[in-house]
């Protein structure tokens, strides 16, 4: 059970914020279940609970037809149009899309730290993992026993993300073929350069392989302004999905939700 939201004031110096209301990390469904049966669907939970806590969540749309990234209770559900271009559904519509699996942290709204521009060693996903590990260690969290969620605002010199998109009439699995082979074929990749970015992620060794990729406890989604709407984070003016690679140019804010 998560009970604190801690804020990191710098990528090099960790400054913990005051403890916030209770929060919880919730795992819905599983990656393995969805891979074995793409028809598996779980209702997407509400973004705000009765106590006013807001969701920070990530996972694929049921049927592997899009990506869900929930930022401060607002679902950004990115899908593809008929030409294979990414776009984000209005939140009320996106929030009704079921999910194949999802990891969600509920946390009360809190202020971001004062803006700063300190990239430090945090430039790529490996550096981001180290930053999360350092934040968890500073909070006394045993990452072998529990996971943490994080959120980041900054600028990416370059980011590559994919939107999972299972095509109509997908070929059947060959005899003895692992479902992961088809899953890799469903990843439609996009690369953007010099763009503001919001990241939502989890670092969860206990969920490794079930809600993250095998051998990697980190699962990160990005929200980016649509190329036609530079600088906008209004949901319908954004795109985004699962981050495969990123080169950060600066961090304006970074927070980790930890638990006890």
Looking up tokens 């008929």 gives 82
State residue 118's pLDDT score: 44
Mean pLDDT of 233-241: 98
* CATH classification for the domain delimited by 2-259, as one of 3.30.1330.80, 3.40.50.800, 3.30.1240.10, 3.40.50.300: 3.30.1330.80
pTM of the model: 0.86
Grade residue 225 by pLDDT with cuts at 50, 70 and 90.
very high
For 162-217, what is each residue's pLDDT tens digit?
A: 999 999 888 887 887 777 778 888 999 999 999 999 999 999 888 887 778 888 99
What residues are paired with 152 via a beta bridge? 199, 254
Integer CA distances (angstroms), 53 to 2, 150, 195, in order:
12, 15, 29
> Are the C-beta atoms of 220 and 242 separated by less than 8 Å?
yes
Handedness of CA 59, 60, 61, 63 (dihedral sign): negative
pLDDT in tens, 110-161: 534 444 444 456 789 999 998 888 888 877 788 888 888 899 999 999 999 9
Quickly count: other Cβ atoms within 10 Å of residue 17's Cβ. Answer: 17
The domain ranges of the chain are 2-259
Contacts of 134 (CB under 8 A, 6+ apart): 14
């Amino acid at each position: 059970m998560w009970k604190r939201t801690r804020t990191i004031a710098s990528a090099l110096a960790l400054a913990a914020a005051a403890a916030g209301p209770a929060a919880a990390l919730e795992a819905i469904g599983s990656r393995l279940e969805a891979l074995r049966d793409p028809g598996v669907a779980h209702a997407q939970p509400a973004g705000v609970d009765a106590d006013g806590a807001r969701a920070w969540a990530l996972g694929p749309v049921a049927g592997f037809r899009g990506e869900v990234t929930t930022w401060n209770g607002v679902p950004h559900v990115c899908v593809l149009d008929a030409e294979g271009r990414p776009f984000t559904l209005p939140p009320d519509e996106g929030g009704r899309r079921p999910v194949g699996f999802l990891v969600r942290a509920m946390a009360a709204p809190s202020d971001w730290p004062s803006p700063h521009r300190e990239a430090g060693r945090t430039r790529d996903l490996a550096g981001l993992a180290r930053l999360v590990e350092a934040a968890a260690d500073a909070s006394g969290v045993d990452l072998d026993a529990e996971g943490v969620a994080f959120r980041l605002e900054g600028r990416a010199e370059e980011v590559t993300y994919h939107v999972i998109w299972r095509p109509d009439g997908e070929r059947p699995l060959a005899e003895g073929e692992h479902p992961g082979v088809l899953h890799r074929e469903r990843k439609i990749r996009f690369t953007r350069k010099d763009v503001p970015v919001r990241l939502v992620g989890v670092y969860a060794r206990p969920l490794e392989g079930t809600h993250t990729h095998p051998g990697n406890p980190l699962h990160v989604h990005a929200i980016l302004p649509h190329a036609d709407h530079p600088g906008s984070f209004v949901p319908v003016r954004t795109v985004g999905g699962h981050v495969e690679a990123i080169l950060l140019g600066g961090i304006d804010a970074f927070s980790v939700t930890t638990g006890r």
